């Protein structure tokens, strides 16, 4: 059985639609004289707010060495599981053979990344840094998976003290006797 709904009768002004047309034209004319807010994207870059968290990248120290110790804390803390770290060993004949491990492969899937910054906070060596990159482009899904070499190229160098490369530590730090 159909239900019949009674419609409200329109008044004379409502049937003319003039108040609605005038209010719409008023809004249009008001916005015509405002300054434009559209950016010509490739030529003009937007002003990023303070505290903007961009794409995560890997950085090297001032001597060009990898800062990542392959501890996989960033992988464990990532809520979207966008980071994959494959730990690898350093060859015994290398001068840095006293270091336990280094990443064999390091992948970040930028389609899964939610730019939360937890990986940067969890990293003990400050090897992951969020850059001010806001435009991430690609033609296929595979273009959005960044590997170790791509992440280091985007990250650059961040000079600071790193515990990884310190060969001899104090006995006090190791808990031994003097």
Q: Give the pLDDT of residue 163.
A: 59
Segment 14-73, tens digit of pLDDT:
888 888 899 999 999 998 888 878 888 778 888 888 888 889 999 988 888 888 888 999
**Model pTM?**
0.67
Domains of the chain as residue ranges with CATH: 56-155 (3.30.70.3270)
Task: Using alpha carbons, select from 172, 166, 30, 56 the residue that is nearest to residue 112.
Answer: 56
Instruction: Give how far Cα 117 sits from Cα of 29, 74, 114, 122, 138, Å.
Output: 44, 10, 9, 9, 22
Provide the 10 A C-beta neighbour count for residue 143: 12
Alpha-helical (H) ranges within the chain are: 12-16, 18-32, 73-77, 118-122, 148-155, 171-174
> Which tops the pLDDT comparison, 135 or 4?
4
The answer to whether 80 and 173 are in contact (CB under 8 A) is: no
Q: Which strand (E) or helix (H) includes residue 83?
A: strand 83-89
The yes-or-no verdict on residue 76 having pLDDT over 80 is yes
Q: Give the pLDDT of residue 175.
A: 52
Segment 124-167, tens digit of pLDDT:
888 999 988 878 889 999 999 999 999 999 888 877 766 565 66
User: For the ranges 73-77, 91-95, 166-170, which has the lowest average pLDDT?
Assistant: 166-170
Task: Using alpha carbons, select from 110, 118, 54 the residue that is nearest to residue 82.
Answer: 110
Q: Give the pLDDT of residue 140.
A: 94
Q: Which strand (E) or helix (H) includes residue 87?
A: strand 83-89
The yes-or-no verdict on residue 8 having pLDDT over 60 is yes
């Amino acid at each position: 059985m159909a239900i019949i709904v009674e419609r409200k009768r329109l008044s004379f002004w409502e049937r003319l639609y003039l108040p609605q047309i005038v209010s719409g034209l008023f809004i249009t004319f008001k916005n015509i004289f405002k300054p434009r807010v559209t950016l010509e994207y490739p030529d003009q870059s937007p002003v990023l707010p303070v505290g903007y968290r961009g794409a995560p990248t890997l950085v090297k120290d001032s001597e060009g060495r990898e800062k990542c110790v392959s501890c996989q804390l960033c992988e464990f803390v990532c809520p979207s599981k966008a980071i994959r770290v494959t730990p690898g060993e350093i060859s015994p004949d290398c001068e840095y053979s006293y270091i336990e491990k280094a990443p064999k492969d390091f992948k970040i899937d930028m389609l899964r990344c939610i730019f939360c910054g937890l990986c940067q906070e969890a990293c003990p060596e400050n090897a992951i840094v969020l850059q001010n990159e806001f435009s991430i482009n690609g033609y296929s899904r595979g273009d959005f998976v960044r590997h170790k070499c791509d992440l280091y190229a985007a990250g650059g160098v961040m000079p600071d003290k790193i515990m990884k490369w310190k060969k001899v530590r104090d006995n006090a730090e190791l808990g031994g006797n003097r």
